[in-house]
Amino acid sequence: MSISLPSTGTLAIGGKTVHRLGYGAMSLTGPGVWGPPADRDAAVRVLRRVVELGVNFIDTADSYGPYVNEELIREALHPYPEGLLIATKAGFVRTGPSQWHPVGRPEYLRQEVEMSLRRLGVERLGLLQLHRIDPQVALEDQVGELAALRDEGKIAEIGLSEVSVEELERARRVTDIVSVQNRYNLTNRFSESVLDHCTEQGLVFIPYSPVAKGALTGAGSPVEHVAKVLGATPSQVSLAWLLARSPMVLPIPGTSSIAHLEENLGASTVQLTAEQLTELG
């Protein structure tokens, strides 16, 4: 398979330059993002193939497993290749499969950053994103603690996840924010205004669930007809649409299959015409 990630363009984050097709590692856990993957050796092989194919941005979080995902990344890839940026997150507590609860108390965020450093085996986290804003804690206190950790050298850059434009700007009044990770894909554009704002401000926008948990990939996909014309797959067209949407977009498709990984990264060679982009909207 011919994959040319440089054709996607690059973005600068945390002093590193990353290709605009990353990998979301959340899929490498058990059902409900809980516990270890069914086949740990296969998960390790996927992560190693990610790097072999030139991907240098991997997204994870302390809550994926919980903790399992970060430990797996270290097992598969440490010592890390030069230029690889591992982005992790803190601020979500897991109490069981598919259960998520925001916790943004400063002491908890500090604890989780310290533990992520240990699990990943690094002295500084390249990008730490606040996984969710805890409504019970002042946003300024949550972001302020991350800023303190950055000043201590434990975090290189700070990002946010699932925020509005107003929340993003409140956070930016406290400290520098380099990225926003919101749900966004061709059929779910609730975060359109956030994406446009990030583009205007030069902030990286990381759309999670870029192929709508598979809804954009199978038979009946709204991009199926365009995929047939291009000789591509629906997932490739969906990712190519995101890449064309803004130069600040960094999709992170996730999978536990090497075949699907290679298919997803094939989006780097798909060029949508102006007419196709207009048709898809």
Residue 164 domain flag: yes
Residue 225 domain flag: no
Structure letter (DSSP) for residue 65: B
Range of the domain at 55: 9-211+246-253
What single string gives the DSSP state of each residue in 154-214? SBS-EEEES--HHHHHHHHTTS---EEEEE-BTTB-TTHHHHHHHHHHT-EEEEESTTGGG
Query: Which residues participate in catalysis according to the annotation?
Result: 64
Which pLDDT tens digits describe the chain residue by residue (281 residues)?
557 787 899 999 978 999 999 999 999 999 999 999 999 999 999 999 999 999 999 999 999 999 999 999 999 999 999 999 999 999 999 999 999 999 999 999 999 999 999 999 999 999 999 999 999 999 999 999 999 999 999 999 999 999 999 999 999 999 999 999 999 999 999 999 999 999 999 999 999 999 988 788 877 888 899 999 999 999 999 999 999 999 999 999 999 999 999 999 999 999 999 999 999 98
Residue 149 domain flag: yes
Q: What are phi and psi of 218, to 5 degrees?
A: -95, -170
Number of structural domains in the chain: 1
Residue 2 domain flag: no
Cα-Cα-Cα-Cα dihedral sign, residues 55, 61, 64, 67: positive
Residue 94 domain flag: yes
Residue 181 domain flag: yes
Q: What is the CATH number of the domain that holds 92?
A: 3.20.20.100
pTM of the full structure: 0.97
What single string gives the DSSP state of each residue in 235-271? HHHHHHHHHHH-TTB------S-HHHHHHHHGGGG--
Residue 143 domain flag: yes
Residue 61 domain flag: yes
Residues pairing with 158 in the sheet: 128
